[in-house]
Amino acid sequence: MDVPAAIRRTEMPLDYDDRPVEKRVGLIILATDHTTEPDFRRMVASDRIALYTARVAYANPTTPENLRRMQPELTRAARLILPDEELDAVCYSCTSASVVIGDHEIQSAIQAAKPGVPVITPTLASVKALYAVGARRISILTPYTIGTSAPMADYFITSGFHIARFTCFGLEDDRQMARISPASLIAAAREAMSPDADALFISCTALRSAGVAAEIERAIGKPVITSNLATSWATLRICGETVPQPELGRLMSLPMAAW
């Protein structure tokens, strides 16, 4: 091939950094997810924390059976995020699937591709977040059907919480969940909060509830934990980021116990 005379290859020596960005966070999200990436860009990404996403096949409706079908895909998805390079954390962004598959099983599947990496699930992050705000008696709001919500109730009871009130929307399509307006989420949160609960947990990474968590806190006078708020908080703390962000909600000013 002829090379234009104007192009020359320099012999100048180049310096290389160990990493383009100091911290690397992998996100494993559903093929249908509209919300996780915008939330993590807003709450986690910075000049020192970069996000790298892989999507896994998923088909609605949101039922325990369909959620379990993602488990075999988790190792493959993790392997596709910066192959042969280390990550500082991997977040699997599906709360209901984390309940039916299990935190430990998800960790094992991801670490099969990325040995030793801290694996964040929305369920475990939310448990740690609820303990961080001092909550033991909680109200829960989910967008799911009763059948999909039931395992979540069992999960939080097993994790040491008393459920004062559990409310669900009865939806089966996570794309529809992502379209629920912030105003509707605020109104639903007011209704879902029991007066004697210590905090409100809003489940589902598809919901845009993290963006209005602080507003809901002002409305109900109690801490609010959402799936994406909890996973963002856990990711930041694992990456050594401790700068308070009270504008995002009470949780984002608190430390996290060892992951």
Q: Are 213 and 229 in contact (CB under 8 A)?
A: yes
Residues 223 and 234 in one domain: no
For 55, 74, 75, 120, 227, the CA distances from 107, given in Å and listed in that order, are: 17, 9, 10, 8, 17
Domains: count for the chain: 2
pLDDT class for 4, splitting at 50, 70, 90? low
pLDDT at 248 over 90: yes
Q: Are 95 and 203 in contact (CB under 8 A)?
A: yes
C-alpha to C-alpha distance for 4 and 25, rounded to whole angstroms? 42
Please report the pLDDT score of residue 89 as a whole number. Answer: 98
Structural domain of 53: 23-121+230-245
Portion of the chain with pLDDT greater than 90, in percent: 93
Residues 109 and 143 in one domain: no
Residues 6+ apart with CB under 8 A from 143: 168, 169, 171, 177, 180, 203, 204, 206, 207
Over residues 155-175, the mean pLDDT reads 97
Residue 136 domain flag: yes
Residue 221 C-alpha from the chain's centroid: 24
Please report the pLDDT score of residue 92 as a whole number. Answer: 98
Residue 16 domain flag: no
pLDDT at 256 over 70: yes
Cα atoms in the Cβ-side hemisphere of radius 13 Å centred on 108: 7
Residues 129 and 113 in one domain: no
Residue 1 domain flag: no
In whole numbers, what is the pLDDT of the chain averaged over residues? Answer: 96
Please report the pLDDT score of residue 3 as a whole number. Answer: 62
For 89, 111, 205, the CA distances from 105, given in Å and listed in that order, are: 16, 10, 19
